[in-house]
Chain A
Amino acid sequence: QSVLTQPPSVSAAPGQKVTISCSGSNSNIGNNYVSWYQQLPGTAPKLLIYDNTERPSGIPDRFSGSKSGTSATLAITGLQTGDEADYYCGTWDSSLSAVVFGGGTKLTVL
């Protein structure tokens, strides 16, 4: 059972938009920045979003992040088959004194 809650799977057609939610509490998302990672099959995770909304250089603006209260959302527009991957949210938990991740969401591009 992960501290952060994500839907196990989402799907959408190529070209469409999809959102992935990440729900937590005041000890984590509510008072700390959220990051998002993409893990393509058989590869290491890759940073997509940090500090709730910021994209590292090289990440296309099709990927965006937002946060409201104790929840965060990753949005992906203009879906491509190459976006099929597992997506994880992460943040610091002040009560646990630990980095916590969501359980991951598998994105299928139909």
Chain B
Amino acid sequence: EVQLVQSGAEVKKPGESLKISCKGSGYSFTNYWIGWVRQMPGKGLDWMGIIYPGDSDTRYSPSFQGQVTISADKSISTAYLQWNSLKASDTAMYYCARRGSYWYFDLWGRGTLVTVSS
């Protein structure tokens, strides 16, 4: 089955670090870009950035540049989204999604809920 499996929900305190994951299976992981999308509670979709696991070429949305780090380990077909110092405003659902042949996303993970609270 073609799918993206994301890591489980996280509860963190402000200032803590976090790395969440997205594992692809059922397709050639290295040949498709993987993007990350934030959805804050009750809000819409915000594109954060994207990575090509084949060579780790990474692009960031200007809104998220410097705020997060996107990486990938092609040997285990996994992409990551990382924070060095979480803020309460990082509380959101985070989705990974596979990019199709153009700027659309044809396969989505179920999401990882990140809650940041003191």
Contact = CB atoms under 8 A, between A and B. Distances in A.
A47 B47 contact: no
Interface in A54-99: 56, 88, 90-92, 96-99
A91 to B, nearest CB: 6
Interface string A26-70: 000000110101000001111100110000100000000000000
Contact of A44 (B47, B95, B102, B106): B95
A90 B104 contact: yes
A96 B95 CA distance: 21
B37 to A, nearest CB: 8
Interface stretch (B8-16, B56-64, B72-80, B84-92): B56-64
A102 B44 contact: yes
Interface of B: 35, 37, 44-47, 50, 59, 61-63, 95, 97, 100, 102-111
B35 A99 contact: yes
Interface of A: 2, 32-33, 35, 37, 43-47, 50-51, 56, 88, 90-92, 96-104
B95 A88 contact: no
Given A96-B62, A101-B47, A104-B45, A50 B95 contact: no
Contacts of B95: 44-45
Contacts of B45: 37, 45, 88, 90, 101, 104
B109 A98 contact: no
A73 to B, nearest CB: 16
A45 B45 CA distance: 9
A2 B110 CA distance: 24
Contacts of B44: 2, 88, 101-104
Contacts of B59: 97
Given A45-B95, A98-B63, A92 B103 contact: yes
